[in-house]
Copies of this chain bind each other. A is one copy, B any other.
Amino acid sequence: MNEKDFLASYNASAYNTPKGLPVDICMFTITSTKKQTVRKVLPTRDIKILLIKRKGHPYKDMWALPGGFSKEEESLYEAAKRELKEETNIGDDVHIEQLKTVYYPGRDKRGWMPTVVYFALVNEKYLQNMQAADDATEAKLFTVEEALSMSLAFDHHDIIQEAYDKIKEKMLTTSIAKEFLEDEFTIAELLQVLQVVVPEFKVEKSNFIRKMVSTETRKGLLEEVRLENGDHKMSDRNSQREARLYQFSDHMPKVSIYNSTLF
Please give the residue numbers on chain A whose beta carbons come within 8 Å of chain B beta carbons, in ascending order.
13, 16-21, 70, 72-78, 98, 100-105, 111-112, 114, 116, 169, 172-175, 194, 200-201, 203, 208, 211-212, 217-218, 221, 252-263
Contacts and interface: CB of A to CB of B under 8 A. Distances in A.
Contacts of A172: 254-258
A101 B101 contact: yes
Contacts of A208: 258-259
Nearest to A256: B172
Given A211-B259, A257-B255, A260-B260, A76 B105 contact: no
Q: Is the interface of A mostly helix, strand, loop or mixed?
A: loop
Nearest to A200: B263
10 contacts: A19-B111, A21-B114, A72-B111, A172-B256, A173-B256, A203-B258, A211-B259, A218-B257, A221-B257, A252-B257
Given A194-B258, A260-B255, A72 B105 contact: yes
A234 to B, nearest CB: 22
Contact of A101 (B76, B218, B262, B263): B76
A98 B162 CA distance: 13
A257 B103 contact: no
Nearest to A172: B256
B74 A114 contact: no
Nearest to A76: B103
Contacts of A70: 103
Q: Which of A112, A175, A217, A261 has the most CB of B within 10 A?
A: A112
A132 B260 CA distance: 44
Given A174-B257, A262-B260, A116 B101 contact: yes
Nearest to A190: B258
Nearest to A104: B75
A258 to B, nearest CB: 6
Chain B CB count within 10 A is highest, among A76, A218, A258, for A258
A42 B116 CA distance: 44
A261 B260 contact: yes
Nearest to A211: B259
A70 B18 CA distance: 14
9 smallest beta-carbon distances between A and B, as pairs: A75-B104, A255-B255, A172-B256, A260-B260, A16-B18, A19-B112, A101-B101, A72-B112, A76-B103
A257 B253 contact: yes
